Amino acid sequence: MEGNIHCDYSYGLAEAVSDQVCRKPNVVLIDNEELVASNYDGSKDTYPSVSEYLSGSGEPYGSLLNSESVLLYILRLACQKLNEVRLSVPDAAGLVVASTVQHAEQIASMLRANFQQASVVVTYRHDNANGIIESFKTAKQPWIVSVGMISEGTDIPRLQVCCHLSRVKTELHFRQVLGRILRKRGQQDADAWLYTLAEPNLVSFAEQLTLDVPESTLVIDTPKRSIDETQTLSRLEATDTRNHSETTHCSEVVFDEVHADDIGWHGYQSRELLVLGNFKQRVLSHFV
């Protein structure tokens, strides 16, 4: 029909994985069974999941991203996976996509203090950001923590593990973050691992990676919970505003949370958040 475009052939992620051009994506969705938000009158509301906390508390997604216990749990899983990967791929590296410069610095500090993991921080505030990224491509540091810099077109083949800790929750952004860890280099780097919270939009995007190719296989695995790691308590160290316009610009840096530190994100006083219950994770393994 005139005016319509008919595609005779498409080359998607499934084909790229089959041709061994891309790694197989594994998305690890982190949830928690007991999120407690303190009200100003002294009462408390308890939520059994990330989804219900976000829909029922009125708190922004950033309140979870800034929770120390949430960050520690996600970073612990990601560090364990990267250490495992580096046994066979010694120069494999991890990427953390942070929300703000302050957030990135907090994460880098936690990687160093809690997991003895060296990291490089690169943000829009660095005059030599491109130089830092170029140096990291062939360096030995296991982690790079980025705000607004590791964008579409940035090629760091040794990246194989990623923590999506950005406030931006669009499908375009999600796929572009995932794309940073998919380029395959050899036979021993067959899998890529993305860790993120079980926020409803991100869960949907992770599940839809398979829907692009109906004949592909989706394997869902729910690992046993770690008891000693899950009985934790945290207080927010940084806060968000309630209404953030989450937009991306395809022609520019798509991870652009560039001025988040400069437009009042930390001026809003969030309710106290306690993370008391068991963490749990659901692993979506695609194209197995």
Mean pLDDT, rounded, for 227-250: 30
Distance CA 147, CA 197 (A): 18
> Can you say how many angstroms the Cα of residue 196 is from the centroid of all Cα atoms in its chain?
4
What DSSP state is assigned to residue 273?
E
Q: Is residue 239 within 8 Å of 66, Cβ to Cβ? A: yes
β-bridge pairing 119-123 and 93-97: unpaired
CB environment 170-190: b (16+ within 10 A), e (fewer): beebbbbbbbbbbbbeeeebe
Q: Confidence band (pLDDT; 50, 70, 90) for 36?
A: very high
pLDDT, position 85: 95
Helix (H), strand (E), coil (C) string for 102-119: HHHHHHHHHHHHHHCCCE
Q: Where is mean pLDDT largest: 7-21, 192-206, 249-263?
A: 192-206
Look-up: residue for tokens 């939009």?
A: 201
On the question of pLDDT at 110 being above 70, the answer is yes
> What is the pLDDT, as a whole number, of residue 241?
29
Give the per-residue pLDDT at 99.
94
Residue 214, pLDDT > 90, answer no
Q: Domains plus CATH for the chain?
A: 24-286 (3.40.50.300)
pLDDT band at 128 (very low <50, low <70, confident <90, very high): confident
pLDDT in tens, 95-108: 999 999 999 999 99
What is the pairing mode between strands 143-147 and 93-97?
Answer: parallel
Cα gap 138→191, rounded to integer Å: 20
Above 90 in pLDDT, residue 17? no
pLDDT digits (tens, 9 = 90+) for 152-195: 557 899 999 999 999 999 998 999 999 999 988 877 777 999 99
204, 75, 14, 169: CA torsion to nearest 10: 30
Looking at residues 17-23, what average pLDDT do you find?
73
Q: pTM to 2 decimals?
A: 0.79
pLDDT computed for residue 23 by the predictor: 87
- DSSP bridge partners of 273: 37
How far is Cα 59 from Cα 30, in angstroms, rounded to an integer? Answer: 18
* Tens of pLDDT, residues 63-91: 999 999 999 999 999 999 999 999 999 99
Burial zone of 282 (CB within 10 Å; 0-12 exposed, 13-18 middle, 19+ buried)? middle
Number of residues assigned to the chain? 288
Question: Can you give the pLDDT at residue 277?
Answer: 87
Query: Residue 166 carries which DSSP code?
Result: -
Query: Whole-angstrom Cα distance, residue 63 to residue 260?
Result: 14
Q: What is the pLDDT of residue 248?
A: 28
pLDDT value, residue 220 = 58
Q: What percent of the chain has pLDDT over 70?
A: 71
